[in-house]
């Protein structure tokens, strides 16, 4: 392995990491919003929206992100909607992630005993107040392991962005290999940078999980 090569590539990888993180976190933030909204719709069993949410979940969980991105990037402009590659990445990740986040939030919500809701209602709370102040906080802490697994999964999925010419880590590696054929150095850097991106999330995740379990409501 040629360390001079690695050193000279470093700035490019740093830029790529920055872009991957930027799109990644925006997409994850969007997926959490979608997840929460979807889980609330399912929780309250809101009529038509409930069906739409169900279809959405199945659609996005059963098609590859690559296909979804192609759709957003190449098909939407055909019907007059033009979005940048970055927006496309955020949207794709957010929508794919949203489908998984809904399921994680939902499993948390379903694990809260019905009588907790009844207890809150008995105090005169509305269904909405009960959801926000009593059920959701408990559900979220139960959902944390699932949500974190989704975050890691989504950050890894960003590698697909290279196909819509976003200069993410994967794109940078492929590009450099194509130009200079320093395959080993490029792949080595690629692995290292993915670890730099994901290890902190994993570690933070397990700390958070342990904390939550320690604070476990264990009633």
Please give the residue ranges that form the binding site for other proteins (CB under 8 A): 115-116, 118-126, 129, 133-134, 137-138, 141, 216-219
- The smaller minimum CB distance to other proteins, of residues 124 and 178, is found at 124
Are the C-beta atoms of 158 and 93 separated by less than 8 Å? yes
Residue 94, phi then psi, degrees to nearest 5: -65, -40
CB-wise, 125 or 196, nearer to other proteins?
A: 125
In the complex, the smallest distance separating the C-beta of residue 138 from other proteins, rounded to whole angstroms, is 5
- The two three-digit tokens of residue 42, written as one number: 């399912």
Give the residue with the Cβ less far from other proteins, 6 or 125. Answer: 125
Nearer to other proteins, 27 or 108 (CB): 108
Answer whether 155's CB lies under 8 Å from 100's CB: no
**Residue among 123 and 195 whose Cβ is closer to other proteins:** 123
Q: In whole angstroms, what is the distance from residue 115 CA to residue 121 CA?
A: 9
In whole angstroms, the minimum distance from the beta carbon of 145 to other proteins comes to 17
Shortest Å distance, C-beta 141 to other proteins: 7
- Least separation, in Å, of the C-beta of 123 and other proteins? 4
Task: Give the helix ranges, DSSP H, for the chain.
Answer: 3-44, 47-61, 65-70, 85-110, 114-122, 127-129, 136-157, 169-180, 183-214
Minimum CB separation from other proteins for residue 102, in Å?
22
Nearest CB to other proteins, comparing residues 3 and 217:
217
Q: Locate tokens 């098609």: which residue?
A: 63
3-class DSSP state of 204: helix
CB 150 within 8 A of CB 31: yes
Q: How far is CA 73 from CA 49, 50, 98, 123, 158, in A?
A: 26, 28, 19, 50, 15
CB of 6 to other proteins, least distance (A): 48
């Amino acid at each position: 392995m040629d360390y001079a090569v690695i050193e000279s590539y470093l700035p490019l990888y740093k830029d790529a990491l920055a872009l991957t993180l930027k799109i990644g976190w925006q997409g994850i933030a969007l997926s959490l919003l979608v997840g929460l909204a979807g889980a609330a719709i399912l929780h309250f069993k809101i009529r038509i929206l409930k069906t739409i949410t169900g279809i959405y979940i199945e659609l996005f969980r059963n098609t590859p992100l690559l296909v979804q991105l192609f759709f957003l990037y190449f098909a939407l402009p055909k019907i007059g909607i033009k979005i940048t590659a970055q927006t496309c990445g955020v949207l794709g990740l957010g929508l794919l992630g949203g489908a998984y986040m809904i399921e994680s939030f939902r499993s948390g919500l379903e694990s809260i005993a019905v009588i907790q809701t009844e207890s809150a209602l008995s105090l005169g709370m509305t269904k909405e107040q009960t959801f926000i102040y009593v059920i959701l906080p408990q559900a979220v802490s139960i959902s944390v392991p699932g949500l974190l697994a989704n975050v890691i999964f989504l950050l890894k999925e960003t590698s697909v962005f290279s196909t819509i010419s976003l200069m993410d880590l994967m794109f940078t590696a492929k590009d450099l290999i194509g130009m200079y054929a320093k395959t080993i150095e490029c792949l080595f850097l690629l692995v290292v940078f993915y670890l730099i991106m994901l290890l902190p999330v994993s570690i933070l995740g397990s700390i958070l999980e342990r904390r939550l379990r320690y604070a476990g409501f264990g009633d």
